[in-house]
Structure 1
Amino acid sequence: MTFKNVAVEPQTEKKTYSQDEAYEASLIYFKGDDLAARVWVNKYALKDSFGYLYENTPDDMHRRLASEIARIEKNYENPMSEDEIFALLKDFKYIVPQGGPMTGIGNDYQIASLSNCFVIGNEGHSDSYGGIMKVDQEQVQLMKRRGGVGHDLSHIRPKGSPVKNSALTSTGIVPFMERYSNSTREVAQDGRRGALMLSVSIKHPDAESFIDAKLEQGKVTGANVSVKIHDDFMQSVEAGEKYMTQYPTDAKIPKYTKEIDADGLWKKIVHNAWKSAEPGILFWDTIIKESVPDCYADLGYKTVSTNPCGEIPLCPYDSCRLIAVNLYSYVENPFTPQARFNFDLFKKHVQVAQRMMDDIIDLELEKINGIIGKIDSDPEDQEIKNIERSMWLKIQTKAKEGRRTGVGITAEGDMLAALGLRYGSDDATDFSEEIHKTVALEAYRSSVIMAKERGAFKIYNADREKNNPMIKRLRTADEQLYQDMVKYGRRNIALLTIAPTGTTSLMTQTTSGIEPVFMPVYKRRRKVNPNDKNVKVDFVDEVGDSWEEYVVFHHKFKDWMTINGFELKKNYPEADLDAMIAKSPYYKATSNDVDWMNKVRMQGKIQKWVDHSISVTINLPADADEELVGRLYFEAWKSGCKGVTVYRDGSRSGVLISNKKEEEVEEKPDSIFPTKRPIELEADVVRFQNSKDKWVAFIGTIDGRPYEIFTGLSDDEDGILLPRSVVSGKIIKNVNPDGTKRYDFQYTNKQGYRTTIEGLSYKFNPVFWNYAKLISGVLRHGMPIHKVVNTVTSLQFDNDTINSWKAGVARALKKYVPDGTVAEGAICGECGSKNVVYQEGCLICPDCGTSKCG
């Protein structure tokens, strides 16, 4: 069957806008901020599956959100009006719903959840293949509804454990890490991939294998990984003692134990984090001890893992939605001696933000009903639908019963600068702690008021919570609030978080989350036509495109400049820019300047007033040593942090640390593969489309790394009579009766029968075959994959078909480039940054978040 592209009219009489119309209107809205305009149009403007846009500027979006939240408000006492809500949302000034809520509220064109975060699991009782496959299916079902997912692997038996099936012994954790990672990479979410967190307890006998899993190139590229560190392990490291691992990890009488060198394993964690920024660390005893929901662990609220960024620890089948309060907007007379923080307005708005979060839970319950309805109406067999339906019913129960929320903040760095406080200083940290204490008190106060008006969350019990450290701190700070909570209950089981607010901060035009400013001044590039008059060409890239360089000022740094009499349009020499920055409150307060230990201590102080967790990164220079990473981790543990991520400049999986190391790797590339081609190779099948042509690539691999590639036009839509379900097989080297060599592809069909396609070498165009042999030779000699991609891309052909083949080869090979590898010579088309890296086969700019796939 052949499907043709046909024009499709929008499914409504609503006014629609072209991409260009919405971009131009949004560019005016964001006062010329090209990046903010593009991010909003591409990620958040309401659109249907056919690409029709129904919103022209963020004003339309905020009106949509306000209308829906006001609809829910009418169900309760003292409802806020749509106009009141709109005024708080408008211009991203005060209250900013994030991700799922911003995209999904009032969106009838997608059947998706409003939740940003989910955790799933086997609820502590199953590590059978059936249970493991169930989790795999559940994470995919959640990701297709746009949610980020986390789950823990500590329940899986360690490698070598006896099992009662044909394997006889367990394969351990690592193979299932790869399975879950691959499933995540397969799920598309409106132009992005799914997001996954995998965690394991340090008590697990396979913890070391888990920690090392991502160091192997091309492995577990679709997941973040974090280790759940327990206090007794840290104490063993401090004392230089042995440490006992066990399975099950929480059993009083375990089935299996293994004594390890605690310091040795600790040094491995530190080394891997220094080298590749993973694994992340979760101080698990702190998380559980501080967790308010864990007061109800026996009722199903035992925390088992976190969402992909680590800021929401969750029990199985619970979820959370996120909202941020823009701290900068509460600074009056910013960047002047008269600057002050308006605590009265801030307190009022935090209470409203918590109330809006509770309204969004009701909207989420409506969405879940829609998802369940969609599942019920699907034509699939009930047996196929049962796992997905059962999962959403569990999520629905947790949302109704616990009503968990995620109120947070953004623009902490800009707020401090506007008040004349240098990020990382003692004064700034003390003020930040007071801000977050205020957030906690007012959000909990709002939840108590709602409990009085709307009813407490179903299982609230004051006696269960009375000894919880978070609740005790709230009581010490405000006894009346505590007494009211005991009397009326609380509407929400847990309330607070601090998320990364990545693209959100681009639209608030502020610093992100609690992070400091990245850089107050930086350079960007824009593509120009060198033949246009009055165009200044500063840079010509490797493909001949011309670029103009221009200075970009951080938005709030521009406010400081204006207030202090500096001209925005003046072309400042480098020395003048440096002198200007030195006079500003952003001086020595960037992400690379802040004292690392102080930042960790700041996180610990703030954490005491956040009942979930905090997403924050400690940025280190490239020359930072491993010993520093270890000291930072210990300081984080002792400071009361729930988790910590350390990122050393350039330390991504697969990134070569220096030119010297790169030369060392390339001096002995032949050691990567056997000198003689094996008879059989594991193979991946990659399908792609250039213009209207369908292509297929067969990639032979050794240890997951490409060894050879054959690709060309497919004979029909099934790809040389290859079922669409086939994604892997074997490439087998054979000999024809006349003595000539050929390469066959063999796969196993759904019925378990092997099928062989003979002669890849003559299925494809001879020209493609010859170039494939050339590229395969380069791969076999161990050239780094990203350099092979660069080589293929740089080939020059006059024939369009050959160019399409070239693009397909590059696209297929990009999937094997280790995440974080720098794309040499690549420049971000949005911000002009040269810091472009590969991530899941796409080119990602970490500086501005822009991604390009294919």
Structure 2
Amino acid sequence: MTPDLTKQVLTSTAETVLARRYYLKDSNGNPIETWEALTRRVANAVADVDKDQKHHKQLQEEFFDMIYRLDFLPNSPCLMNAGTDLGQLSACFVLPVDDSMDGIFTAIRNGALVHKTGGGTGYSFSRLRSKNASVRSTQGVASGPLSFAAVFDAATETIKQGGKRRGANMGVLRIDHPDIMEFITAKQDQNSFNNFNFSVAITDVFMQAVEDDADYDLIEPSTRQVVKQLNARKVYEKIVDLAWHNGEPGVLFIDSANRDNMTPQLGDFEATNPCGEQWLLPYESCNLGSVNLANFVVKGKIDYKRLKQIVRSATVFLDNVIDCNRFPIPEIKEMTLKTRKIGLGIMGLHDMLIQLEIPYGSDKGREIAGEVMRFIRDAAEERSIEIAQQKGPFPAYDSAVNAYKPRRNAALTSIQPTGTVSMIADCASGCEPYFSIVMVKHVMDGDRLIMVNRYFEQVARREGFYSAELMSKVADSGTVMGHDEIPVKWQEIFCTAQDIKPEDHIRMQGVLQKSGVDSSISKTINLPNNATREEVKLAYISGYKLGCKGLTVYRDGSRDHQVLNTKEGSEKDQQTAVVSERGPVKQNLPDTLDAKRYRVKDQYQKSVYIIVCFDENEKPMEVFAKFPFDNRVDLKDKSTMWTTTCRLVSLALRFNVPMDEIIKQLDRSSGHMQDLPAQLSKLFKSFLAGTQQGFSSECPECGGPLRFEEGCETCHDCGYSKCS
């Protein structure tokens, strides 16, 4: 079927992302493609695997149609590189790290070649002998996995992936490795291993020891001898503490993953790709794509007939990707062709549920999500079996080991991050709920641009509760919840990531995993800023018991700022606002105030500290800016400007000027997303919303806010993603 090319299928945000990251460019960096041209390039390149077959032309149109209409999108490397000289179409790989200098630096070299072509890498450092273990060849002692992980990190830092994608790594260490405590705390200050996500590979033995409050063994990899014991519950609580602190390390349930290993004769899983959705054997690659569930609701019902057609076509597409791929090293090509694993995932799950008028966090929402994922898995397997009958099963298939019907692909489904890809499709990422329904985008003249979710705007206008004032209120509060103008039914249906209970996030992941996911799921369990360590602990236990193969927990705001509470007195002086006949009077302050310190980055990526002092009702009363090195000559002018701004804001606060008026003036004064007025405005908005979430991490490319979703930080303004 030839699509109607006169119909506009892309949003302006999608066009911006495509022009910036995906379209081919001329020597001056100007795009030379359109969405139609890109789609044709990708469809033809992947269909050409079957160019000698009668159905070749039909396949070209099939692939073109589903991508152009945004029913299915392959991963970013495929969109970027299919039909080009680079031709590397895989998103990520797992590389072995053997316990020798040759093995370690071979892995670093191979990782560099992967990053150069636009892929991400997963490494297990569990084979490396522990710190201070003996090294016979040199009569010395080993420096341990963390010292070598730092070398991997430095190597990644020097390589910009294909000019379009940053280096991204997953570092994994088994819970029974002697250096596990050093690994758990390695990213505590957020200034180390910035090119890595760290996850602990947790075993069933360890989880049982946690439950029993028992000790467990640490095993030296080089000798396989028990060298020490630790109390499992104390180690577990340390993992929880660090995850509560800033979301790392994540946890991977390695035994759960290996129970579903389709080719155990080839070895055990040791690591995942950078976002955790693909467990891979050494040298395997993941070849990913996602079905856009937002496009399959018609008159309040799921169009399963068309969904099956797209899943069948997408399965053929991803299988063909393996054959037309140009792999960065021979070992990866050999292993990928041996198992032919694909990762058919989803995006737009929340869009689908919204159109069905079902809350994401409800039992019904999980029921429908499970049914759809099972349907996709079954349809993909059916098509993979048919391809195997035509082209043969994956070469590693062994009927004596693999107790299932011969199929083309050892693994079929996963749920991966779709950050920039879902921005192209204008839908929610992966299986995540929307992070926000109404967003504010600041433009250079200081005005606010309100961006409203298309479904919410349609409903609000249809139901008669739409207004610019309400949209602004929703944007400032960050949620549709608690606004009297919005009927309770729609508050529940448009409930976002921060509003959904953590246990409902985990239940959704568990249902999807059991229903129809061969590999794993990249999903973030969002917790409110005031979540306790006990809630993080329960999240991990729940995920394990529900059969999840990995888990990422993120407490809102935990990466966004570092807060230092200071109390210089045990008693607070009473304060009262004074008004005279002449007008407002400046409020007197006591000698001692509570304060919080927030670390931010200015537009030059230099650290600045903002200290906010509060009265006993937690109302901001004074603001100070502090540079770490105020004596630097190049900071004097800037320091003076920031200090003056803080004094004026403090004066307004002490005269009881309404905070929304202060915010309005700060927004109008902002010239850059990271200058002081913009930073103060963001902070004060969080105070108004009652969240005190403070500052979001900022996009290194456009200065917009980064959101932690699907185990990765993503900018919804420009499409930048730390992992894709």
TM-score by structure 2 length? Answer: 0.77
Equivalent in the alignment of 2:435: 518
Deviation at 1:795, TM superposition (A): 6.2
Q: Report SS of the residue matched to 1:427.
A: helix
Contact 1:826 / 1:836 at 8 angstroms: preserved in 2? no
Aligned to 2:414: 497
Secondary structure in 1 matching 2:498: coil
- Aligned counterpart for 2:65 among listed residues 84, 87, 110: 87
Query: Does structure 1 residue 362 correspond to structure 2 residue 323?
Result: yes
| Greater relative CO, 1 or 2 (CA 8 Å, sep 6+) | 2
Structure 1 residue 159, shift from structure 2 partner:
1.1
| Partner of residue 470, structure 1 | none
**What is the CA-CA distance between 1:500 and the residue it aligns to?**
1.3
**What is aligned with 1:353?**
314
TM-superposition CA deviations, 1:59-118 (whole Å, max 9, x none) = 2211212222332233446443423322211132x111121111111123xx25111010
Q: Does 1:625 align with 2:520?
A: no
- Say whether the 8 Å CA contact 1:619–1:646 is kept in structure 2: yes
Greater Cα shift, 569-578 or 195-204:
569-578
Task: Tell me the residue number matched to 1:538.
Answer: none
- SS in structure 2 opposite 1:547? coil
What is the match of residue 296 of structure 1?
265
Report the CA distance shift for 1:62/1:638 in structure 2 as closer, same or farther (over 3 A): same
1:602 alignment partner in structure 2: 508
Cα distance in 2 for residues equivalent to 1:112 and 1:357: 14
Residue 416 of structure 1 corresponds to which residue in structure 2?
353
Deviates more, 1:254-263 or 1:199-208: 254-263
User: What is the aligned-residue RMSD (CA, Å)?
Assistant: 3.6
Tell me which residue corresponds to 2:334.
397
Residue 91 (structure 2) aligns with: 116
Match runs of 1:718-757 below 5 Å: none
Q: Which residue of 2 aligns with 1:810?
A: none
Does the Cα contact within 8 Å between 2:184 and 2:200 map onto a contact in 1?
Answer: yes
Equivalent in the alignment of 1:229: 202
Cα distance change on mapping 1:571 and 1:604 into 2, 3 Å: closer
Quick one: which amino acid aligns to residue 19 of structure 2?
V
Matched, 1:558 2:528: no
Equivalences for residues 697-846 of structure 1 within 5 A: 784=628, 791=635, 794=638, 835-837=695-697, 843=703, 845-846=705-706
Conserved 8 A contact 1:844-1:851: no
Corresponding position of 2:367: 430
User: Could you say what secondary structure the match of 1:464 adopts?
Assistant: coil
Q: Which residue of 2 aligns with 1:344?
A: 305
Question: Against the structure 1 CA distance between its residues 823 and 239, is the aligned structure 2 distance closer, same or farther, given a 3 Å change threshold?
Answer: farther
The separation in 1 between residues aligned to 2:675 and 2:126, in whole angstroms, is: 36
Structure 2 counterpart of 1:407, one-letter code: L
8 A contact 2:498–2:528 mirrored in 1: yes
Answer whether contact 1:184 1:223 (CA < 8 A) is retained: no
CA contact (8 A) 1:99 1:116 kept: yes
Deviation digits for residues 2-38 of structure 1 (CA, Å, limit 9, x no counterpart): xxxxxxxxxxxxxxxxxxxxxxxx9x9466x443221
Q: 1:42 aligns with which of 17, 20, 41?
A: 20
SS of 2:372's partner is helix
Q: Which residue of structure 2 lines up, in the alignment, with residue 479 of structure 1?
A: none
Among 539, 555, 561, the alignment partner of 1:655 is 561
* Structure with larger Rg: 1
Q: Which amino acid aligns with 1:64?
A: R
Deviations 1:611-669 (A, max 9, x none): 111000011111111010000100000000000101001112x83146659999999x9
Note the alpha carbon deviations across 1:474-532, whole angstroms, 9 max, x for none.
xxxxxxxx6xx2xxx211111111011001111111111101111112222222xxxxx
Is 1:319 aligned to 2:297, yes or no?
Answer: no
Decide which of 549, 553, 562 is 1:646's aligned counterpart: 553
Say if 2:75 is the partner of 1:105.
no
- Counterpart contact for 2:564–2:596, Cα < 8 Å: no
Letter of the 2:562 partner, please give it.
L
CA, structure 1 residues 786+95, in 2 after alignment: closer, same or farther (shift >3 Å)? farther
Q: Which residue is equivalent to 1:186?
A: 158
Counterpart in 2 of 1:202? 175
Amino acid at match of 2:239: I
Offset of residue 52 of structure 1:
4.1
Distance 1:556 1:624 in 2: 30
- Equivalent residue letter for 1:603: Q
* Secondary structure class of the residue paired with 2:543: helix
What is the DSSP-based 3-state SS (H/G/I as helix, E as strand, rest coil) of the residue aligned with 2:43? helix
605, 613, 616: which is aligned to 2:520? 613
Deviations 1:283-333 (A, max 9, x none): 11001112223x3325xxx32211110111111111111111000111012
Matches of 2:631 and 2:431, distance apart in 1? 37
1:496/1:558 CA distance change after superposition, 3 Å: same
Counterpart AA for 1:548? D
Question: 2: distance between equivalents of 1:789 and 1:633?
Answer: 49
- 2:622 maps to none
CA 1:312–1:235: 2 relative to 1, 3 Å: same
**Partner Cα separation in structure 1 for residue 134 and residue 595 of structure 2:** 40
Equivalent residues of 1:843, 1:852 under 8 A apart = no
Match of 1:449 among 386, 396, 416: 386
**Count of residue pairs brought into register by the alignment:** 610
- Secondary structure (helix, strand or coil) at the match of 1:40 reads helix
- Checking the alignment, whether the CA contact within 8 Å between 2:450 and 2:472 is kept in structure 1 is no
Task: Give the counterpart letter for 1:524 in structure 2.
Answer: K
CA distance in 2, matches of 1:581, 1:49: 54
Contact 2:95 / 2:111 at 8 angstroms: preserved in 1?
yes
Counterparts of 1:626 and 1:511, CA distance in 2: 28
Shift of 1:206: 0.5
Hey, what's the Cα distance between the residues in 1 that align with 2:469 and 2:699? 37
Between the aligned residues of both structures, percent identity stands at: 31
Aligned-partner Cα distance in 1 for 2:331–2:171: 21
Distance change in 2, residues 1:463/1:497 (3 Å)? same
Aligned residue for 2:648? none
CA contact 2:47–2:317 (8 Å) conserved in 1? no
Of 608-617 and 593-602, the range deviating more from structure 2: 593-602
Q: Which residue of the other structure, out of 424, 429, 432, is the alignment partner of 1:507? A: 424
Q: Distance in 2 between matches of 1:289 and 1:309?
A: 20
| Corresponding letter in the other structure for 1:354 | T
Q: Find the counterpart in structure 1 of residue 446 from structure 2.
A: 547
Structure-2 separation of matches of 1:443 and 1:622: 40
Deviation string, structure 1 residues 807-841 (Cα, Å, up to 9, x no partner)? xxxxxxxxxxxxxxx9865579xxx9995425789
Query: Which consecutive unaligned segments of at least 5 residues does structure 2 have?
Result: 569-592, 609-625, 642-673, 687-693, 708-714
CA distance in 2, matches of 1:575, 1:362: 48
Q: Which letter does structure 2 place at the counterpart of 1:655?
A: H
Task: Check the 8 A contact 2:699/2:720 in 1, yes or no.
Answer: no
CA drift of 1:793 comes to 8.5
2:273 corresponds in structure 1 to 307
3-state SS of the aligned residue for 1:267? Answer: helix
CA contact (8 A) 1:88 1:95 kept: yes
Q: Report what 1:265 is aligned to.
A: 235
Q: Using the alignment, how far apart are the partners of 1:174 and 1:226 within structure 2? A: 13
**TM-score, normalization: structure 1?**
0.66
Would you say the 8 A contact 1:241–1:262 is kept in 2? yes
